[in-house]
Structure 1
Amino acid sequence: MRKLKNEELGRLQVTEFKDAPKTPVVLILDNVRSLHNVGSVFRSADAFRVEKIYLCGITATPPHKDIRKTALGATESVAWAYAKETGSLLDTLRGTHQIWAVEQTQGSVSLDDFQPEAGKPYAFVLGHEVKGVAQEVIDKCQGVVEIPQLGTKHSLNISVAAGVVLWDFWVKTSGKKTSREPGTKPSTE
């Protein structure tokens, strides 16, 4: 095996990314305080070609040097918008998306049991690093998905949680194990 060079990865250019079909999912960051987390979520959103990221409440928005530091250009490829109130945004998205919080709650669905319907758009809400997704936001969601954890900590970093949920959603809805052969350009069909 030989490590591939960047030019061998067949990555999309920003304009190609914007025109390419998207995974039918949006991410909603509910009062996320860490700019590095915001940037990392942008990178994961780019990797899975999500439709959009909504940055809500105190969540910082691009351009910002600390977001740019971890996003590595993904703020240019991934569509995003700011919404002051997460709850109002969910009211707007309710007609077009299945809305699920990523949180630990009574009655949550374990991620391994979560079965999204292929082709239907979803929205996943990720919350504040310490307080999680606000209860009033959870109350507006159609469900809550929980990532199983086996260690001593009770939570994952939100950027890690976003990556895990996006990977799981993509695998379950695309029917594929990988999006392309290594070293080839991803399909835009």
Structure 2
Amino acid sequence: MRKWTMEELNRLSPTAFKAAPKTNIVLVLENIRSRNNVGAIFRTADAFRIAEMVLCGITPIPPHKDIHKTALGATESVAWRQESSAAEVVAKLRESGADCYAIEQVKGAEFLDQTTATPDQTLVLVIGNEVQGVSQEVIDACGAAIEIPQLGTKHSLNVAISAGIVLWHFFTKLRPTAH
């Protein structure tokens, strides 16, 4: 066994990435504070080839050196847009037929490992602020929530880690063709 060479990894150029089939996921970031977290989430979104990121409220937007430091160029490949209200974004996407989920610890949430998805679904996943989480207004707009089961003493994860866990879970169910 040996590591792949850079050539063998067969990475897509940003142009080829934009034309490639996407995982049918829209990731909404609500009031994320850390530019490093935003950059890390961009990089994860690139890895799983998600359809779009929507940066809402006070979430920092590219270009910024701290975002680029952790994104490693993913801000150039992943489609993204800025909106003022995550609740309005979710409401519009839900009206268009998307299944919307707040990634949050709330009464009645479904555990991530018990969720299913099919490739014909459009999933909207909302990740909230590092301190306050997803706002109640956005939870209400989503109409459903997913919780990452945890057994430790902290009962919380870094938002970039949470995004990675949830995106991986749904990527395994909605994965587009390799290239």
Q: Does 1:50 align with 2:50?
A: yes
Quote the sequence identity (%): 52
1:13 CA drift (Å): 0.7
- 1:122 match: 123
Counterpart in 2 of 1:59? 59
Q: Structure 2: give runs of 5+ residues left out of the alignment.
A: none
* 1:70-94 alpha-carbon deviations (Å, 9 max, x no partner): 0000000000000011111112111
Deviation at 1:150, TM superposition (A): 1.4
Q: Counterpart of 2:141 in 1: which secondary structure?
A: coil
Residue identity in the other structure for 1:87:
A
**More helix as a share of residues:** 2
Displacement of 1:142: 2.8
Aligned to 1:183: none
1:23: how far off? 0.3
Question: What is the match of residue 165 of structure 2?
Answer: 164
The equivalent of 1:73 in structure 2 is 73
Look up the SS of the partner of 1:70 in the other structure: helix
TM-score by length of 2: 0.95
Cα distance between partner residues in 2 of 1:117 and 1:106: 25
C-alpha distance in structure 1 between counterparts of 2:140 and 2:119, whole Å: 25
Whether 1:187 and 2:144 are equivalent positions in the alignment is no
Which structure 1 residue ranges, 5 or more long, are not aligned? 180-185
Q: Counterpart in 2 of 1:7?
A: 7
Report the equivalent of 2:85: 85
Q: CA deviation at 1:148?
A: 0.8
Aligned residue for 2:134?
133
**Which residue is equivalent to 1:39?**
39
What is the number of residues matched between the two proteins?
A: 178
Report how far residue 116 of structure 1 moved.
1.8
- Confirm or deny that 1:104 pairs with 2:95: no
Secondary structure of 1:66 counterpart: helix
Amino acid at match of 1:93: L
Give the alignment's TM-score, normalised by structure 1: 0.90
Instruction: Measure the CA separation in 2 of the matches of 1:96 and 1:17.
Output: 26
Indicate if the aligned counterparts of 2:29 and 2:53 stay in contact, CA closer than 8 A: yes
State the secondary structure of the residue aligned to 2:115. coil
Aligned partner of residue 60 in structure 2, secondary structure: coil
State the Cα deviation string for residues 92-115 of structure 1 (Å, max 9, x = none). 111141110100000000001111
Paired AA for residue 148 in structure 2:
I
SS of residue paired to 2:100: strand
CA distance in 1, matches of 2:59, 2:97: 23
The aligned counterpart of 1:182 is none
